[in-house]
Structure 1
């Protein structure tokens, strides 16, 4: 129990030090994407997705996570890439934004990295106008 409390305390102190942790993942490309760990509720394997008639192109359907029904968003499609092909490497990142919960369908989860807010930059104008890509950064990474 002491180890868990110490880990929580370390993560809480990141905010006061102008630091953040990013969960790094892939979308089936060489490029790595990330999400602020404070927005992540959990990461799970892709559960059964129920079709949702009339939903947008990027909504694959809805899923049930611990009794809650949430939308499953194809993050590749949402950022103007071709739709993701769900396979054994895919995961669902359950997140909370603006008091709503949603699941982002992503590829392989890489790791969590620690960085500073000073390293975070606005996305280039060429990134489009959707609100899924909110910032960019460069991180030294030696993963697969």
Structure 2
């Protein structure tokens, strides 16, 4: 049975999963430099070993209320379509394997999260895991470089 390996994380009371193959690393929250005129969901940029990386607030992206940073807050550094960026999450929970038959297509009204950010819902026992479509998280804002 084909399966996916996921990194799971919490945002508020919801639990989300991203494909582990897209995850470069998980880091504590460093100082974040704000960027003028960036979209509201872009928190700013960080310096990760000499590389400047955009950090997205998933809470802002999903229209959730702001939450204070805690000891569990993390940035998951991802590479999607050759673009490296970070997503700020409330807590990283675990790495797990999910069989493909435990993944359902996203519901039409997707638990308060815009459904085009979701590629499916995973069922683990009585838990539901929202599987994110990371290509849409950044939207068109990152998919084309400026100066064209």
Q: Under TM normalisation by the shorter chain, which class is it?
A: 0.7 to 0.9
Give the number of equivalent residue pairs.
125
What TM-score comes out, normalization by structure 2 length? 0.75
What TM-score comes out, normalization by structure 1 length? 0.77
Between Structure 1 and Structure 2, the one with more helix by share is 1
Between Structure 1 and Structure 2, the one with more strand by share is 2
Root mean square deviation of aligned Cα: 2.0
Of stretches 122-131 and 102-111 in structure 1, the one that deviates more from structure 2 is 122-131
1:35 counterpart = 2:4: no
Measure how far apart 1:40 and its partner are.
0.4
- Unmatched segments (≥5 aa) in structure 2: 128-148
For residues 122-143 of structure 1, the C-alpha deviation after alignment (integer angstroms, 9 at most, x for no partner) is: 222213546432221111379x
- Cα distance in 1 for partners of 2:48, 2:116 equals 24
Q: Is the Cα–Cα contact under 8 Å of residues 79 and 133 in structure 1 kept in the other structure?
A: no
Structure 1 runs (4+) greater than 4 angstroms displaced: 128-131
- Unmatched segments (≥5 aa) in structure 1: 1-16
Larger radius of gyration: 1
